[in-house]
Amino acid sequence: MKRFVTTLALGLMVAACSSGPPEPPPPPPFTPAGAFDVSISVMGMELAGTMTIEEADGAYSGTLETPQGPLALTDFAVDGMEVTCVGDAGQFTIAFALTFEGDGFTGAMDLGDIGAGTITGTKR
């Protein structure tokens, strides 16, 4: 009996010493959803505004608000930390390609024949 108790005690000590701290939980999956203060450089103009991206059932929609008015954002595609979307400005379409890092993003805007621009955003 004494041998059993000693063996059990040794087994418990080895088990307690060999197990390290539990693994931390994995980070939550990336989502571009949120409200962002944006700076836009396009066609010789510097604009400030707000980009809002919303998620519902894994699908995204959004709005870009600038002094020129609101622009609905559609056709979102997320690939890792890269996000693309499109805004219909009436006479032309704006294609956005955004790279998220930390609490913000940097990106490019393609206005077709009209030109191109850049956009940066910081999460509110």
More confident position, 1 or 36: 36
Question: Average pLDDT, stretch 79-108?
Answer: 95
With CA atoms as reference, report the closest residue to 109 among 101, 98, 99, 100. 98
- Measured CA to CA, the distance from residue 101 to residue 30 in angstroms comes to 10
Task: Provide the residue count of the chain.
Answer: 124
Structure tokens at 103: 């609490």
Domain boundaries, the chain: 34-123
Per-residue confidence band for 28, with pLDDT thresholds at 50, 70 and 90:
confident
* pTM of this structure: 0.79
Tokens 């609905």, located at residue: 72
CATH of domain 34-123: 2.40.128.120
Structure tokens at 96: 């956005």
Mean pLDDT, the chain, whole residue set: 89
More confident position, 95 or 3: 95
